[in-house]
Homo-oligomer: A and B are copies of this chain.
Amino acid sequence: MSHKEISKAVIKRLPRYYRYLGELKEAGVERISSADLSSLMKVTASQIRQDLNNFGGFGQQGYGYNVQYLRDEIAKILGLDHMHNMVIIGSGHLGQALANYTNFERNGFQVVGLFDNNKDLLGTVVNGIPIRMIDELPAFLAANEVEIAALTLPKDNAKKMVPVLLEGGIHAIWNFAHTDLNLIVPKDVAVQNVHLSESLMRLSYNLKTLQEDASPADQKEP
């Protein structure tokens, strides 16, 4: 690897910085110090400066950070400075919801194809995109420049799709299926999992724990 490895924790935080900088820009704020951003975002100023300095010096001593400039730089880092074409494999409710989610376009992600194996969906058009049958996918990928595949289908079907996607030149998988595709994919393919039920389980845990803490049942220390 030619550039130094950036930790996952840092990458996790970048989109949040990006979001706050967008809101500041909307609000007409031109510059901000790490201290001010820190009190807004409830993280330490030190962390903000450390995070940003992984990518170079975006600020200026005595001044702070220029909101517009910093936001643009983060956009470049995240690869939001150009369009990413995406296909959605699995056109059930969730797949269709994603296809309808036009906000993605603002951030540079464009849904160009919808696929399913259910013949009943043939002829259905979602947000201007016709649902195609899954066996058309290889030809579609060959004919179109597609970077990302979102997988919104049952886990066994998702696994079966992987070779087809790799064959079609896909290098990024946005995985909503309840399986760890990252374990069965070559290391040059990016996978982001969105495991909704796991998120819901964590919410359940936190709910339970907060309630136990609040209840006076077992307050005595050992």
A interface with B by C-beta (< 8 Å): 1-3, 6, 11-12, 14-16, 18-19, 41-42, 77-80, 84, 92-94, 96-98, 100-101, 103-104, 107-109, 147-148, 171-174, 178, 180, 183, 187-192, 194-214, 218-221
- What are the residues of chain B within 8 A of A12 when measuring CB–CB? 202
- What are the residues of chain B within 8 A of A14 when measuring CB–CB? 201-202, 205
- What are the residues of chain B within 8 A of A196 when measuring CB–CB? 98, 101, 194
Contact of A15 among B78, B202, B218 (CB under 8 A): B202
Is B190's CB under 8 angstroms from A206's CB?
A: yes
- What are the residues of chain B within 8 A of A180 when measuring CB–CB? 16, 41
- What are the residues of chain B within 8 A of A78 when measuring CB–CB? 201-202, 204-205, 208
Is A201's CB under 8 angstroms from B15's CB?
A: yes
Number of chain copies forming the complex: 2
Contact of A213 among B2, B97, B203, B220 (CB under 8 A): B2
Could you list 16 examples of A-B contacts with CB < 8 Å? Answer: A2-B219, A6-B209, A14-B205, A78-B202, A78-B204, A93-B97, A104-B197, A148-B204, A172-B204, A174-B199, A174-B203, A187-B210, A188-B210, A190-B203, A192-B200, A192-B206
Interface centre among A12, A77, A84, A205, by most chain B C-beta atoms within 10 angstroms, is: A205
Closest Cβ of chain B to A22, distance in Å, is: 10
Closest Cβ of chain B to A148, distance in Å, is: 7
Is A3's CB under 8 angstroms from B80's CB?
A: no
Contact of A210 among B15, B104, B189 (CB under 8 A): B189
Contact of A212 among B3, B109, B173, B210 (CB under 8 A): B3
- What are the residues of chain B within 8 A of A109 when measuring CB–CB? 200, 204
Using A94-B97, A97-B94 as known contacts, say yes or no to A197 and B2 having CB atoms under 8 A apart: no
User: What residue of chain B has the Cβ atom nearest to residue A16's Cβ?
Assistant: B198
User: What residue of chain B has the Cβ atom nearest to residue A6's Cβ?
Assistant: B209
Closest Cβ of chain B to A151, distance in Å, is: 12
